[in-house]
Amino acid sequence: MAKKKPPTVAKAPKVKLSPRDEKTAERLTGLADRVVSYANNRKDPFVDIPSRTLANVKYSPKKKILEMGNATNRRQLFDLSQAKAYMRTMLVAMGSKRLIDQGKSTSLRGLFYMLKGTIEGTKENTFEEQGECDTIIEDVEVLLSSIREELHLYAENRGAMVGGIVLTDKGDEINCARMGSGGYAIPSIVEPDVIVFDKKRCTAKFILHVEKGTVWQRFNEDRFWEKHNCILTHGAGQPPRGVRRMLHRLHNELELPLYCVLDNDPWGYYIYSVIKQGSINLAFESQRMAIPEAKYLGLRSIDFERCQLSDSVKIALNDTDRKRAKQVARYPWFEKKPKWQTEIKKMLSNDFKLEVESLISKDISYVTEEYVPARLRDQDWLD
């Protein structure tokens, strides 16, 4: 009796890589090639990872952004204290290369499970917790000078936008003026090979970024973006990378001014700082995320008197708030700006903070119909 032939398995079609993916894949391959080269020459494999610390970050007065310095930390395979971290670095690089080759993306959590397992012949796991994997992902980013989105990794979507712009998202046309009450959810990956702006169909004159989704809902429901011809965005508090990258692209590619409506507290100031100058962890990517021309249009320390608010909206500062405010005041990009120093000193003197929602005590639509329009008309913002 003739033996049955095993069923043939169709080969997966070869994925055509974008120029961005080709560049990232080349860097990942180069990392692997160096390991092989070290092994062939009987040398200890190592990687020098740029240090993601405050001491290795500097502010460039010329560019007006945070930049990473040249300090590095060496990670070696044959150093027992570093061997696991070295192995994890290579695992994350391997996982990213696999995703690129397959033309697929996954979440940070997804990569953690892709790479989680027990090392053969031991009781040791590659990763115990997702936080361990996330830290290595950040190391690989700076090692390859690539953001995680280029490694085909994404985080949970946080943030939305609505307004006079039409874009294409992976081939699907999105009219952001026709997105209903929820708006267009800003993806984690918003690079030009994924999101394409239709410049001819962008009617917006500026971007208004608000801190929270609850405030964004008020602006959206009141059709602020339609009345004032703008793009309205939010980042659910501290804006994630996708939102920051989207703001950067809208500002630079469409030449739209950016105004930020944030809370009158140290955390609102910090959010503005991150949008404007960049962050310590992502200092190596400030060129693609920071927006030095952004303007602070949020609540001011004088607004309690200026807007005649009631005592009931005051939120007392705590010790953490005071400490944070003093830290922000010492940032090089705020330190030599008299208006910012006056602003922070006034808040500390008040000994209370104010949320944007406090303006609702005046009227449900006071912030959209009076406060922000007046600030824009009078160019009453902090830079």
Is 86 a known active-site residue? no
Alpha-carbon torsion angle 177, 106, 101, 150, nearest 10: 60
Catalytic residue chosen out of the listed positions 38, 59, 86, 113: 113
The label of the residue with tokens 């950040």 reads 138
User: Of 283, 324, 383, which Cα lies nearest the Cα of 60?
Assistant: 283
Instruction: Show the CA angle centred on residue 189, arms to residues 146 and 162, nearest 5°.
Output: 140
Structure tokens at 12: 């997966």
CA-to-CA distance for 73 and 90, rounded, in angstroms? 16
- Structural tokens at position 374: 């007046």
Alpha-carbon span 335 to 330, nearest angstrom: 5
Contact 339, 195 (CB under 8 A): no
Distance CA 108, CA 121 (A): 27
> Annotated catalytic sites, by residue?
113
